[in-house]
Structure 1
Protein backbone atom coordinates (compact mmCIF):
# COMPACT_ATOMS: atom_id res chain seq x y z
CA UNK A 1 0.00 0.00 0.00
CA UNK A 2 1.13 3.53 -0.79
CA UNK A 3 1.66 5.71 2.29
CA UNK A 4 1.69 9.51 1.95
CA UNK A 5 0.94 10.24 5.59
CA UNK A 6 -2.67 11.14 4.77
CA UNK A 7 -4.64 7.94 5.56
CA UNK A 8 -7.92 9.05 3.98
CA UNK A 9 -6.31 10.03 0.69
CA UNK A 10 -4.25 6.83 0.72
CA UNK A 11 -7.39 4.74 1.26
CA UNK A 12 -8.97 6.41 -1.77
CA UNK A 13 -5.87 5.67 -3.84
CA UNK A 14 -5.91 2.08 -2.63
CA UNK A 15 -9.41 1.58 -4.01
CA UNK A 16 -8.61 3.20 -7.36
CA UNK A 17 -5.49 1.04 -7.68
CA UNK A 18 -7.48 -2.12 -6.94
CA UNK A 19 -10.09 -1.16 -9.54
CA UNK A 20 -7.40 -0.43 -12.12
CA UNK A 21 -5.81 -3.84 -11.53
CA UNK A 22 -9.17 -5.53 -11.96
CA UNK A 23 -9.75 -3.80 -15.30
CA UNK A 24 -6.24 -4.63 -16.52
CA UNK A 25 -6.63 -8.25 -15.45
CA UNK A 26 -9.89 -8.54 -17.37
CA UNK A 27 -8.24 -7.02 -20.45
CA UNK A 28 -5.27 -9.41 -20.17
CA UNK A 29 -7.66 -12.36 -19.94
CA UNK A 30 -9.41 -11.22 -23.12
CA UNK A 31 -6.14 -10.70 -24.98
CA UNK A 32 -4.87 -14.16 -23.99
CA UNK A 33 -8.20 -15.70 -25.06
CA UNK A 34 -8.53 -17.39 -21.68
CA UNK A 35 -11.88 -18.82 -20.49
CA UNK A 36 -14.44 -16.27 -19.35
CA UNK A 37 -14.58 -17.81 -15.87
CA UNK A 38 -10.84 -17.46 -15.12
CA UNK A 39 -11.42 -14.31 -13.06
CA UNK A 40 -14.83 -15.23 -11.65
CA UNK A 41 -15.30 -16.32 -8.04
CA UNK A 42 -16.44 -19.89 -7.52
CA UNK A 43 -20.07 -19.96 -6.31
CA UNK A 44 -20.20 -21.91 -3.03
CA UNK A 45 -23.57 -23.56 -3.60
CA UNK A 46 -22.65 -24.71 -7.11
CA UNK A 47 -19.42 -26.22 -5.79
CA UNK A 48 -21.14 -28.10 -2.97
CA UNK A 49 -23.93 -29.30 -5.28
CA UNK A 50 -21.36 -30.62 -7.75
CA UNK A 51 -19.35 -32.38 -5.04
CA UNK A 52 -22.34 -33.66 -3.05
CA UNK A 53 -23.01 -32.28 0.43
CA UNK A 54 -22.51 -34.63 3.40
CA UNK A 55 -22.27 -32.55 6.58
CA UNK A 56 -20.89 -29.38 8.15
CA UNK A 57 -19.48 -28.36 11.52
CA UNK A 58 -18.30 -25.06 12.94
CA UNK A 59 -14.63 -25.26 14.01
CA UNK A 60 -14.19 -21.69 15.26
CA UNK A 61 -11.57 -19.01 14.78
CA UNK A 62 -8.63 -19.86 12.54
CA UNK A 63 -5.91 -18.03 10.64
CA UNK A 64 -6.31 -18.88 6.95
CA UNK A 65 -4.29 -18.02 3.85
CA UNK A 66 -5.84 -15.39 1.64
CA UNK A 67 -5.00 -17.31 -1.53
CA UNK A 68 -7.19 -20.23 -0.38
CA UNK A 69 -10.28 -18.01 -0.53
CA UNK A 70 -11.61 -18.75 -3.99
CA UNK A 71 -15.35 -18.12 -3.82
CA UNK A 72 -18.39 -16.61 -2.24
CA UNK A 73 -21.75 -17.65 -0.89
CA UNK A 74 -23.66 -14.75 -2.45
CA UNK A 75 -21.46 -11.78 -3.41
CA UNK A 76 -19.59 -12.99 -6.49
CA UNK A 77 -20.59 -10.07 -8.72
CA UNK A 78 -18.94 -7.33 -6.62
CA UNK A 79 -15.39 -8.77 -6.68
CA UNK A 80 -13.29 -10.87 -9.04
CA UNK A 81 -11.36 -14.04 -8.20
CA UNK A 82 -8.58 -11.99 -6.56
CA UNK A 83 -11.17 -9.92 -4.68
CA UNK A 84 -10.55 -6.79 -6.69
CA UNK A 85 -13.68 -4.59 -6.93
CA UNK A 86 -15.52 -5.04 -10.23
CA UNK A 87 -17.22 -1.62 -10.06
CA UNK A 88 -17.52 1.51 -7.95
CA UNK A 89 -20.56 0.06 -6.20
CA UNK A 90 -18.54 -1.03 -3.15
CA UNK A 91 -16.27 2.00 -2.98
CA UNK A 92 -17.64 3.77 0.12
CA UNK A 93 -17.50 0.76 2.40
CA UNK A 94 -14.19 -0.43 0.90
CA UNK A 95 -12.48 2.89 1.58
CA UNK A 96 -13.90 3.01 5.10
CA UNK A 97 -12.33 -0.39 5.87
CA UNK A 98 -9.06 0.57 4.16
CA UNK A 99 -8.91 3.71 6.30
CA UNK A 100 -9.55 1.70 9.48
CA UNK A 101 -6.80 -0.74 8.47
CA UNK A 102 -4.33 2.08 7.88
CA UNK A 103 -5.16 3.57 11.27
CA UNK A 104 -4.50 0.23 12.95
CA UNK A 105 -8.07 -0.23 14.12
CA UNK A 106 -9.34 -3.70 15.03
CA UNK A 107 -11.07 -5.46 12.12
CA UNK A 108 -13.50 -8.31 12.95
CA UNK A 109 -12.71 -11.80 11.57
CA UNK A 110 -14.44 -12.84 8.37
CA UNK A 111 -16.68 -15.92 8.13
CA UNK A 112 -16.00 -18.71 5.66
CA UNK A 113 -17.00 -22.21 4.66
CA UNK A 114 -14.11 -24.64 4.19
CA UNK A 115 -14.40 -27.32 1.50
CA UNK A 116 -11.23 -29.37 1.39
CA UNK A 117 -8.48 -26.72 1.24
CA UNK A 118 -10.74 -24.11 -0.36
CA UNK A 119 -12.57 -21.31 1.45
CA UNK A 120 -15.78 -19.51 0.50
CA UNK A 121 -16.80 -16.24 2.14
CA UNK A 122 -20.19 -15.82 3.76
CA UNK A 123 -19.30 -12.51 5.48
CA UNK A 124 -16.29 -10.24 4.95
CA UNK A 125 -15.80 -9.72 1.20
CA UNK A 126 -14.68 -6.11 1.63
CA UNK A 127 -12.24 -7.08 4.39
CA UNK A 128 -10.65 -9.72 2.16
CA UNK A 129 -10.44 -7.26 -0.73
CA UNK A 130 -8.69 -4.68 1.47
CA UNK A 131 -6.35 -7.37 2.84
CA UNK A 132 -5.37 -8.34 -0.72
CA UNK A 133 -4.75 -4.70 -1.58
CA UNK A 134 -2.52 -4.42 1.51
CA UNK A 135 -0.61 -7.50 0.26
CA UNK A 136 -1.31 -9.50 3.39
CA UNK A 137 -0.98 -13.27 3.20
CA UNK A 138 -3.35 -14.38 5.99
CA UNK A 139 -6.56 -13.28 7.68
CA UNK A 140 -8.55 -14.28 10.77
CA UNK A 141 -11.73 -16.21 10.01
CA UNK A 142 -14.51 -18.11 11.72
CA UNK A 143 -14.56 -21.39 9.83
CA UNK A 144 -17.37 -23.83 9.13
CA UNK A 145 -16.00 -27.07 7.70
CA UNK A 146 -18.07 -28.77 5.01
CA UNK A 147 -17.67 -32.44 4.07
CA UNK A 148 -18.57 -33.54 0.54
CA UNK A 149 -18.85 -36.85 -1.31
CA UNK A 150 -16.10 -35.90 -3.76
CA UNK A 151 -12.76 -34.30 -3.02
CA UNK A 152 -12.64 -30.72 -4.35
CA UNK A 153 -9.08 -31.23 -5.59
CA UNK A 154 -8.63 -30.04 -9.17
CA UNK A 155 -11.28 -27.33 -9.04
CA UNK A 156 -9.82 -24.08 -10.38
CA UNK A 157 -12.59 -22.52 -12.43
CA UNK A 158 -16.34 -22.71 -12.66
CA UNK A 159 -16.08 -24.95 -15.72
CA UNK A 160 -14.34 -27.60 -13.61
CA UNK A 161 -17.58 -28.09 -11.68
CA UNK A 162 -19.17 -29.81 -14.68
CA UNK A 163 -16.63 -32.64 -14.52
CA UNK A 164 -17.10 -33.00 -10.75
CA UNK A 165 -20.88 -33.06 -11.10
CA UNK A 166 -20.86 -35.78 -13.74
CA UNK A 167 -18.31 -37.80 -11.75
CA UNK A 168 -20.49 -37.58 -8.63
CA UNK A 169 -23.51 -38.82 -10.60
CA UNK A 170 -21.43 -41.63 -12.10
CA UNK A 171 -20.28 -42.80 -8.66
CA UNK A 172 -23.87 -42.81 -7.43
CA UNK A 173 -24.75 -45.16 -10.29
CA UNK A 174 -21.49 -47.14 -10.04
CA UNK A 175 -20.47 -46.97 -6.35
CA UNK A 176 -16.80 -47.90 -6.60
CA UNK A 177 -14.62 -47.57 -3.51
CA UNK A 178 -10.95 -47.16 -2.63
CA UNK A 179 -8.42 -47.81 -5.39
CA UNK A 180 -11.06 -48.65 -7.99
CA UNK A 181 -12.82 -45.33 -7.35
CA UNK A 182 -9.59 -43.37 -7.82
CA UNK A 183 -8.64 -45.29 -10.98
CA UNK A 184 -11.65 -44.20 -13.05
CA UNK A 185 -10.77 -40.88 -14.66
CA UNK A 186 -11.91 -39.15 -17.84
CA UNK A 187 -11.42 -35.60 -19.10
CA UNK A 188 -14.72 -35.11 -20.94
CA UNK A 189 -17.55 -34.96 -18.36
CA UNK A 190 -20.01 -36.60 -20.76
CA UNK A 191 -17.81 -39.72 -20.75
CA UNK A 192 -18.86 -40.33 -17.14
CA UNK A 193 -22.49 -40.52 -18.25
CA UNK A 194 -21.63 -42.91 -21.09
CA UNK A 195 -19.50 -45.09 -18.82
CA UNK A 196 -22.33 -45.28 -16.28
CA UNK A 197 -24.65 -46.58 -19.01
CA UNK A 198 -22.00 -49.08 -20.08
CA UNK A 199 -21.46 -50.48 -16.58
CA UNK A 200 -25.19 -50.78 -15.96
CA UNK A 201 -25.59 -52.70 -19.24
CA UNK A 202 -22.67 -54.95 -18.23
CA UNK A 203 -24.36 -55.58 -14.89
CA UNK A 204 -27.65 -56.46 -16.60
CA UNK A 205 -25.93 -59.03 -18.80
CA UNK A 206 -24.17 -60.43 -15.72
CA UNK A 207 -27.47 -60.92 -13.88
CA UNK A 208 -29.03 -62.55 -16.94
CA UNK A 209 -26.12 -64.97 -17.29
CA UNK A 210 -26.11 -65.92 -13.61
CA UNK A 211 -29.87 -65.80 -13.06
CA UNK A 212 -29.59 -63.79 -9.84
CA UNK A 213 -29.93 -60.19 -8.71
CA UNK A 214 -26.85 -58.07 -7.92
CA UNK A 215 -27.02 -54.64 -6.29
CA UNK A 216 -25.14 -51.62 -7.62
CA UNK A 217 -22.17 -52.02 -5.29
CA UNK A 218 -21.72 -55.66 -6.32
CA UNK A 219 -22.01 -54.86 -10.03
CA UNK A 220 -19.48 -52.02 -9.66
CA UNK A 221 -16.95 -54.20 -7.84
CA UNK A 222 -17.29 -57.13 -10.24
CA UNK A 223 -17.16 -54.91 -13.34
CA UNK A 224 -13.92 -53.35 -12.12
CA UNK A 225 -12.27 -56.68 -11.20
CA UNK A 226 -13.62 -58.92 -13.96
CA UNK A 227 -13.93 -56.48 -16.87
CA UNK A 228 -12.06 -53.23 -16.43
CA UNK A 229 -8.73 -54.40 -14.93
CA UNK A 230 -8.20 -57.30 -17.37
CA UNK A 231 -9.01 -55.12 -20.39
CA UNK A 232 -6.76 -52.27 -19.26
CA UNK A 233 -4.00 -54.85 -18.67
CA UNK A 234 -4.36 -56.13 -22.23
CA UNK A 235 -4.34 -52.58 -23.59
CA UNK A 236 -1.11 -51.82 -21.73
CA UNK A 237 0.55 -54.95 -23.09
CA UNK A 238 -0.63 -54.11 -26.61
CA UNK A 239 0.55 -50.50 -26.24
CA UNK A 240 -2.92 -49.20 -27.05
CA UNK A 241 -3.42 -46.65 -24.25
CA UNK A 242 -1.90 -43.77 -26.21
CA UNK A 243 -2.40 -40.27 -24.86
CA UNK A 244 -5.76 -41.15 -23.30
CA UNK A 245 -6.41 -41.96 -19.67
CA UNK A 246 -6.74 -45.71 -19.04
CA UNK A 247 -10.49 -45.26 -18.59
CA UNK A 248 -10.79 -43.41 -21.89
CA UNK A 249 -8.78 -46.15 -23.62
CA UNK A 250 -11.10 -48.78 -22.11
CA UNK A 251 -14.21 -46.90 -23.31
CA UNK A 252 -12.77 -46.46 -26.79
CA UNK A 253 -11.84 -50.11 -27.28
CA UNK A 254 -15.11 -51.35 -25.77
CA UNK A 255 -17.05 -49.21 -28.25
CA UNK A 256 -14.89 -50.26 -31.20
CA UNK A 257 -15.11 -53.94 -30.23
CA UNK A 258 -18.87 -53.99 -30.57
CA UNK A 259 -18.94 -51.74 -33.64
CA UNK A 260 -16.45 -53.90 -35.52
CA UNK A 261 -17.26 -57.47 -34.52
CA UNK A 262 -20.50 -57.33 -32.51
CA UNK A 263 -19.25 -59.16 -29.45
CA UNK A 264 -18.92 -58.61 -25.71
CA UNK A 265 -16.03 -61.03 -25.30
CA UNK A 266 -12.37 -60.06 -24.79
CA UNK A 267 -9.40 -61.84 -26.36
CA UNK A 268 -6.42 -61.18 -28.63
CA UNK A 269 -8.60 -61.47 -31.72
CA UNK A 270 -10.76 -58.60 -30.49
CA UNK A 271 -7.74 -56.34 -29.90
CA UNK A 272 -6.29 -57.22 -33.31
CA UNK A 273 -9.59 -56.30 -34.97
CA UNK A 274 -9.73 -53.00 -33.12
CA UNK A 275 -6.11 -52.22 -33.98
CA UNK A 276 -6.78 -53.04 -37.66
CA UNK A 277 -9.83 -50.80 -37.57
CA UNK A 278 -7.58 -47.85 -36.72
CA UNK A 279 -5.72 -48.11 -39.99
Structure 2
Protein backbone atom coordinates (compact mmCIF):
# COMPACT_ATOMS: atom_id res chain seq x y z
CA UNK A 1 0.00 0.00 0.00
CA UNK A 2 2.88 2.39 0.71
CA UNK A 3 3.94 2.19 -2.96
CA UNK A 4 0.45 3.27 -4.01
CA UNK A 5 -0.09 6.03 -1.47
CA UNK A 6 3.51 7.22 -1.17
CA UNK A 7 3.15 6.98 2.61
CA UNK A 8 5.34 5.00 4.97
CA UNK A 9 3.79 1.98 6.71
CA UNK A 10 6.37 2.17 9.51
CA UNK A 11 5.79 3.42 13.01
CA UNK A 12 7.92 6.38 14.06
CA UNK A 13 10.59 5.74 16.69
CA UNK A 14 9.91 7.89 19.74
CA UNK A 15 13.55 8.46 20.73
CA UNK A 16 14.46 9.57 17.20
CA UNK A 17 11.55 12.01 17.06
CA UNK A 18 12.41 13.51 20.46
CA UNK A 19 16.03 13.95 19.39
CA UNK A 20 15.11 15.54 16.04
CA UNK A 21 12.52 17.91 17.54
CA UNK A 22 14.55 18.63 20.70
CA UNK A 23 11.79 17.60 23.08
CA UNK A 24 12.61 18.34 26.71
CA UNK A 25 9.88 19.50 29.08
CA UNK A 26 7.32 16.87 30.11
CA UNK A 27 3.82 17.48 31.47
CA UNK A 28 1.62 14.74 32.93
CA UNK A 29 -1.80 15.08 31.29
CA UNK A 30 -3.47 12.17 33.08
CA UNK A 31 -6.11 9.74 31.84
CA UNK A 32 -7.61 10.64 28.46
CA UNK A 33 -9.57 9.15 25.58
CA UNK A 34 -7.20 9.15 22.58
CA UNK A 35 -8.05 8.62 18.88
CA UNK A 36 -6.34 5.43 17.72
CA UNK A 37 -5.48 7.07 14.38
CA UNK A 38 -3.38 9.63 16.29
CA UNK A 39 -1.03 6.93 17.64
CA UNK A 40 1.77 6.85 15.07
CA UNK A 41 4.81 5.57 16.93
CA UNK A 42 6.24 3.53 19.76
CA UNK A 43 9.01 3.81 22.32
CA UNK A 44 10.45 0.33 21.91
CA UNK A 45 8.28 -1.75 19.58
CA UNK A 46 8.26 0.36 16.42
CA UNK A 47 9.81 -2.49 14.42
CA UNK A 48 7.17 -5.00 15.56
CA UNK A 49 4.05 -3.31 14.18
CA UNK A 50 3.01 -1.42 11.07
CA UNK A 51 1.72 2.15 11.16
CA UNK A 52 -1.80 0.72 11.59
CA UNK A 53 -0.48 -1.59 14.35
CA UNK A 54 -0.72 -4.84 12.45
CA UNK A 55 1.88 -7.32 13.81
CA UNK A 56 4.82 -7.69 11.43
CA UNK A 57 5.94 -11.12 12.69
CA UNK A 58 3.79 -14.24 13.07
CA UNK A 59 5.95 -15.32 16.00
CA UNK A 60 4.21 -12.61 18.05
CA UNK A 61 0.82 -14.30 17.53
CA UNK A 62 0.98 -16.16 20.86
CA UNK A 63 1.61 -12.96 22.81
CA UNK A 64 -1.17 -11.20 20.84
CA UNK A 65 -3.61 -14.04 21.67
CA UNK A 66 -2.75 -13.94 25.39
CA UNK A 67 -3.39 -10.20 25.55
CA UNK A 68 -6.67 -10.62 23.71
CA UNK A 69 -7.79 -13.38 26.09
CA UNK A 70 -6.96 -11.17 29.06
CA UNK A 71 -8.99 -8.32 27.56
CA UNK A 72 -11.93 -10.65 27.01
CA UNK A 73 -11.84 -11.69 30.67
CA UNK A 74 -11.00 -8.46 32.49
CA UNK A 75 -11.53 -5.67 30.00
CA UNK A 76 -8.89 -3.39 28.51
CA UNK A 77 -6.65 -1.52 30.92
CA UNK A 78 -5.54 2.00 29.93
CA UNK A 79 -2.31 2.15 27.95
CA UNK A 80 0.55 4.63 28.47
CA UNK A 81 1.36 7.20 25.81
CA UNK A 82 3.75 10.04 25.14
CA UNK A 83 2.25 13.01 23.31
CA UNK A 84 4.13 15.30 20.90
CA UNK A 85 1.88 17.92 19.34
CA UNK A 86 -1.23 16.02 18.23
CA UNK A 87 0.58 12.69 17.76
CA UNK A 88 1.08 9.88 20.27
CA UNK A 89 3.69 7.18 20.94
CA UNK A 90 3.11 3.96 22.89
CA UNK A 91 5.17 3.53 26.05
CA UNK A 92 3.18 0.52 27.27
CA UNK A 93 0.31 -1.24 25.49
CA UNK A 94 1.33 -1.85 21.87
CA UNK A 95 -0.66 -5.12 21.72
CA UNK A 96 -3.71 -3.45 23.25
CA UNK A 97 -3.57 -0.78 20.53
CA UNK A 98 -3.26 -3.52 17.91
CA UNK A 99 -6.26 -5.42 19.30
CA UNK A 100 -8.35 -2.26 19.66
CA UNK A 101 -7.73 -1.39 16.02
CA UNK A 102 -8.52 -4.94 14.89
CA UNK A 103 -11.87 -4.63 16.66
CA UNK A 104 -12.69 -1.40 14.92
CA UNK A 105 -12.42 0.84 18.00
CA UNK A 106 -11.93 4.53 17.29
CA UNK A 107 -10.48 5.58 20.65
CA UNK A 108 -8.60 4.08 23.57
CA UNK A 109 -8.06 5.16 27.17
CA UNK A 110 -4.52 6.18 27.99
CA UNK A 111 -2.38 7.79 30.65
CA UNK A 112 -0.71 10.62 28.73
CA UNK A 113 2.56 12.45 29.29
CA UNK A 114 3.20 15.37 26.93
CA UNK A 115 6.65 16.17 25.56
CA UNK A 116 6.80 19.83 24.58
CA UNK A 117 8.64 20.85 21.41
CA UNK A 118 9.04 24.08 19.48
CA UNK A 119 7.50 22.48 16.38
CA UNK A 120 4.42 20.28 16.88
CA UNK A 121 3.91 16.86 15.31
CA UNK A 122 0.76 15.84 13.41
CA UNK A 123 -0.75 12.33 13.13
CA UNK A 124 -0.45 12.68 9.35
CA UNK A 125 3.29 13.38 9.44
CA UNK A 126 5.55 11.10 7.42
CA UNK A 127 9.35 10.67 7.70
CA UNK A 128 9.91 13.47 5.15
CA UNK A 129 7.73 15.78 7.23
CA UNK A 130 9.81 14.92 10.27
CA UNK A 131 12.99 15.93 8.45
CA UNK A 132 11.50 19.31 7.56
CA UNK A 133 10.27 19.82 11.10
CA UNK A 134 13.71 18.97 12.46
CA UNK A 135 15.17 21.65 10.16
CA UNK A 136 12.49 24.08 11.37
CA UNK A 137 13.34 23.25 14.98
CA UNK A 138 17.04 23.98 14.40
CA UNK A 139 16.09 27.23 12.64
CA UNK A 140 13.98 28.37 15.60
CA UNK A 141 16.66 27.37 18.10
CA UNK A 142 19.07 29.69 16.30
CA UNK A 143 16.72 32.60 15.57
CA UNK A 144 14.19 32.45 18.45
CA UNK A 145 11.57 33.83 16.05
CA UNK A 146 8.92 31.72 17.76
CA UNK A 147 9.60 33.88 20.82
CA UNK A 148 10.23 37.32 19.30
CA UNK A 149 7.58 36.97 16.55
CA UNK A 150 5.20 34.34 18.00
CA UNK A 151 2.48 34.87 15.38
CA UNK A 152 4.81 34.25 12.44
CA UNK A 153 4.15 31.15 10.34
CA UNK A 154 7.51 30.18 8.86
CA UNK A 155 6.83 26.57 7.94
CA UNK A 156 7.95 25.26 4.56
CA UNK A 157 7.25 22.12 2.54
CA UNK A 158 10.64 22.01 0.80
CA UNK A 159 13.69 20.55 2.62
CA UNK A 160 16.68 22.90 2.62
CA UNK A 161 14.66 26.12 2.63
CA UNK A 162 15.85 27.13 6.08
CA UNK A 163 19.46 27.23 4.90
CA UNK A 164 18.51 30.11 2.59
CA UNK A 165 16.65 31.92 5.37
CA UNK A 166 19.56 31.48 7.80
CA UNK A 167 21.95 32.81 5.16
CA UNK A 168 19.87 35.97 4.83
CA UNK A 169 19.69 36.39 8.60
CA UNK A 170 23.46 35.85 8.87
CA UNK A 171 23.99 38.62 6.29
CA UNK A 172 21.69 40.92 8.28
CA UNK A 173 23.56 40.06 11.47
CA UNK A 174 26.91 40.82 9.85
CA UNK A 175 25.64 44.24 8.66
CA UNK A 176 24.27 45.13 12.08
CA UNK A 177 27.44 43.99 13.85
CA UNK A 178 29.60 46.05 11.49
CA UNK A 179 27.45 49.19 11.80
CA UNK A 180 27.16 48.98 15.57
CA UNK A 181 30.69 47.64 16.22
CA UNK A 182 29.22 44.95 18.48
CA UNK A 183 28.36 41.30 18.06
CA UNK A 184 24.64 41.38 17.28
CA UNK A 185 22.61 38.51 18.80
CA UNK A 186 21.03 36.12 16.32
CA UNK A 187 17.60 36.77 17.83
CA UNK A 188 17.88 40.53 17.22
CA UNK A 189 19.11 40.09 13.65
CA UNK A 190 16.38 37.55 12.93
CA UNK A 191 13.65 39.85 14.24
CA UNK A 192 14.92 42.73 12.12
CA UNK A 193 15.15 40.45 9.05
CA UNK A 194 11.57 39.33 9.64
CA UNK A 195 10.29 42.91 9.90
CA UNK A 196 12.35 44.58 7.17
CA UNK A 197 13.01 41.84 4.61
CA UNK A 198 10.62 38.93 4.96
CA UNK A 199 7.36 40.67 5.88
CA UNK A 200 7.28 43.22 2.99
CA UNK A 201 7.65 40.43 0.43
CA UNK A 202 5.00 38.31 2.16
CA UNK A 203 2.66 41.31 2.08
CA UNK A 204 2.95 41.53 -1.70
CA UNK A 205 2.61 37.76 -2.08
CA UNK A 206 -0.66 37.96 -0.16
CA UNK A 207 -1.90 40.99 -2.09
CA UNK A 208 -1.40 39.14 -5.37
CA UNK A 209 -3.28 36.08 -4.16
CA UNK A 210 -0.43 33.61 -4.60
CA UNK A 211 -1.25 31.61 -1.43
CA UNK A 212 -4.79 31.11 -2.74
CA UNK A 213 -3.53 29.99 -6.14
CA UNK A 214 -1.03 27.54 -4.61
CA UNK A 215 -2.77 26.03 -1.55
CA UNK A 216 -0.21 23.23 -1.24
CA UNK A 217 2.61 25.74 -0.76
CA UNK A 218 3.21 27.90 2.30
CA UNK A 219 3.91 31.62 2.22
CA UNK A 220 7.50 30.87 3.17
CA UNK A 221 7.74 28.45 0.22
CA UNK A 222 6.75 31.33 -2.06
CA UNK A 223 9.20 33.68 -0.34
CA UNK A 224 12.04 31.19 -0.87
CA UNK A 225 11.03 30.76 -4.52
CA UNK A 226 11.03 34.54 -4.99
CA UNK A 227 14.52 34.90 -3.53
CA UNK A 228 15.93 32.03 -5.55
CA UNK A 229 14.65 33.70 -8.72
CA UNK A 230 16.20 36.97 -7.58
CA UNK A 231 19.54 35.21 -7.05
CA UNK A 232 19.32 33.50 -10.46
CA UNK A 233 18.58 36.83 -12.13
CA UNK A 234 21.50 38.42 -10.28
CA UNK A 235 23.82 35.67 -11.55
CA UNK A 236 22.61 36.17 -15.12
CA UNK A 237 22.94 39.97 -15.07
CA UNK A 238 26.15 40.12 -13.09
CA UNK A 239 24.80 42.69 -10.63
CA UNK A 240 22.64 42.55 -7.52
CA UNK A 241 18.93 42.83 -8.27
CA UNK A 242 17.25 44.77 -5.42
CA UNK A 243 14.27 43.03 -3.86
CA UNK A 244 12.38 46.32 -4.07
CA UNK A 245 12.69 46.31 -7.86
CA UNK A 246 11.27 42.82 -8.12
CA UNK A 247 8.51 43.77 -5.71
CA UNK A 248 7.48 46.62 -8.00
CA UNK A 249 7.43 44.15 -10.89
CA UNK A 250 5.23 41.91 -8.77
CA UNK A 251 2.78 44.78 -8.42
CA UNK A 252 2.22 44.95 -12.19
CA UNK A 253 -0.88 42.90 -13.10
CA UNK A 254 0.67 41.32 -16.20
CA UNK A 255 3.86 40.49 -14.31
CA UNK A 256 1.86 38.94 -11.50
CA UNK A 257 0.02 36.78 -14.02
CA UNK A 258 3.41 35.68 -15.41
CA UNK A 259 4.66 34.79 -11.94
CA UNK A 260 1.58 32.64 -11.37
CA UNK A 261 2.12 30.96 -14.73
CA UNK A 262 5.76 30.28 -13.89
CA UNK A 263 4.88 28.79 -10.52
CA UNK A 264 2.19 26.61 -12.07
CA UNK A 265 4.44 25.43 -14.90
CA UNK A 266 7.47 24.96 -12.67
CA UNK A 267 9.82 26.77 -15.06
CA UNK A 268 10.93 30.18 -16.27
CA UNK A 269 12.19 30.91 -19.78
CA UNK A 270 14.60 33.74 -20.41
CA UNK A 271 13.82 35.48 -23.74
CA UNK A 272 17.25 35.37 -25.37
CA UNK A 273 18.64 33.81 -28.53
CA UNK A 274 19.70 30.88 -26.38
CA UNK A 275 16.76 30.21 -24.12
CA UNK A 276 17.70 28.89 -20.69
CA UNK A 277 15.27 27.05 -18.49
CA UNK A 278 15.27 27.69 -14.77
CA UNK A 279 13.58 25.40 -12.26
CA UNK A 280 12.09 26.96 -9.16
TM over 0.5: yes
Q: Secondary structure of the equivalent of 1:171?
A: helix
In the other structure, the counterpart of 1:29 is 2
Equivalent positions of 1:63-142 (< 5 A) are: 63-102=33-72, 104-142=73-111
TM-score if structure 2 supplies the norm length?
0.76
Unpaired runs of 5+ residues, structure 1, are 1-27
Shift of 1:124: 1.0
Unpaired runs of 5+ residues, structure 2, are 259-267, 271-280
Distance (whole Å) between structure 2 residues aligned to residue 181 and residue 189 of structure 1 = 22
Shift of 1:266: 3.6
Asked whether the 8 Å contact 1:83–1:129 carries over to 2, the reply is: yes
Distance (whole Å) between structure 2 residues aligned to residue 142 and residue 254 of structure 1 = 47
Asked whether the 8 Å contact 2:11–2:40 carries over to 1, the reply is: yes
Q: Secondary structure of the equivalent of 1:135?
A: coil
Classify 1:197/1:83 alpha carbon distance in 2 versus 1 (closer, same or farther; 3 Å). Answer: same
Bigger mean CA offset, 253-262 vs 65-74: 253-262
Asked whether the 8 Å contact 2:158–2:221 carries over to 1, the reply is: no
Bigger mean CA offset, 174-183 vs 148-157: 174-183
Matched, 1:163 2:132: yes
Larger Rg, first or second structure (1 or 2)? 1
Shift of 1:29: 3.2
Q: What is the RMSD computed on CA atoms of the aligned residues?
A: 2.9
Asked whether the 8 Å contact 1:54–1:149 carries over to 2, the reply is: no
Asked whether the 8 Å contact 1:155–1:161 carries over to 2, the reply is: no
Classify 1:66/1:240 alpha carbon distance in 2 versus 1 (closer, same or farther; 3 Å). Answer: closer
Summarize deviations over 1:115-150 as a string: whole Å, max 9, x none. Answer: 222211111111111111122222222222211121
Bigger mean CA offset, 41-50 vs 260-269: 260-269
In the other structure, the counterpart of 1:38 is 8
Asked whether the 8 Å contact 1:78–1:89 carries over to 2, the reply is: no
Shift of 1:206: 3.0
Distance (whole Å) between structure 1 residues aligned to residue 238 and residue 11 of structure 2 = 49
Bigger mean CA offset, 146-155 vs 71-80: 146-155
Asked whether the 8 Å contact 1:167–1:189 carries over to 2, the reply is: no
In the other structure, the counterpart of 2:274 is none
Distance (whole Å) between structure 1 residues aligned to residue 10 and residue 20 of structure 2 = 17
Distance (whole Å) between structure 2 residues aligned to residue 189 and residue 96 of structure 1 = 44
Equivalent in 126, 136, 146 of residue 177 of structure 1: 146
TM-score if structure 1 supplies the norm length?
0.76
Matched, 1:195 2:136: no
Distance (whole Å) between structure 1 residues aligned to residue 225 and residue 31 of structure 2 = 50
**Higher RCO (C-alpha under 8 Å, 6+ residues apart):** 1
Q: Secondary structure of the equivalent of 1:207?
A: helix
Shift of 1:234: 4.2
